Chain A
């Protein structure tokens, strides 16, 4: 089955710097890659996603890139702010589940943005 590895597990940056979180996946048929942000004590929420027919997607300070050949995708946050501090989860939706739809999540990255 699909396996998603996420690195690093913790990341600390200074306000205004960029942050990059990387994920690799094992199932070459995976076709949908969302990123979720979970602030302390709150529910995870989708912040950006990318599908396998696209190489890059941007939304203001957040971007996601996908390299299907290497089977990895990354989250890029520019001009980080203290409110970006949270746990970020990547996920992949395998394309070979026989009609079942279930995301496979990475273990998460705790991002701390220091003022």
Chain B
């Protein structure tokens, strides 16, 4: 069954701690994306990767880091430098967007205590 899997679904973190959100896809998509969703703010792009071992900053990359060592995996680390990390995080993947759609994972809700 093909798709995108994000884990964990819910995560609690103390201030000052780094946390890593997992994103795995078995759709054989080249491109992967991380979005942050806050109420009334829409979907804001954090990082994206169009090929293994390469990634680019999105609009709100400060305080986040990513890696793309494998085609199927694109983990996101929320570092202690991110000033307001409590949010809903969505991972997505696609073939060329000019020819195909963006597929989203179920999301991970991060709460900083």
Taking Cβ atoms with an 8 Å cutoff, the residues of A that contact B are 6, 9, 31-32, 34, 36, 42-46, 49, 89, 93, 100-103, 105-108
Contact = CB atoms under 8 A, between A and B. Distances in A.
A108 B88 CA distance: 15
B84 interface: no
B56 A43 contact: no
B104 A101 contact: no
Contacts of B97: 32, 93, 101-103
A101 B101 contact: no
Interface residues of B, number: 23
Label chain A's interface by main secondary structure: loop
Nearest to B101: A46
B2 interface: no
Contacts of A102: 33, 45, 48, 58, 97
Contacts of B42: 6, 89, 105-108
12 contacts: A32-B97, A36-B102, A42-B106, A43-B90, A43-B106, A44-B104, A93-B97, A101-B97, A102-B33, A103-B97, A103-B102, A105-B42
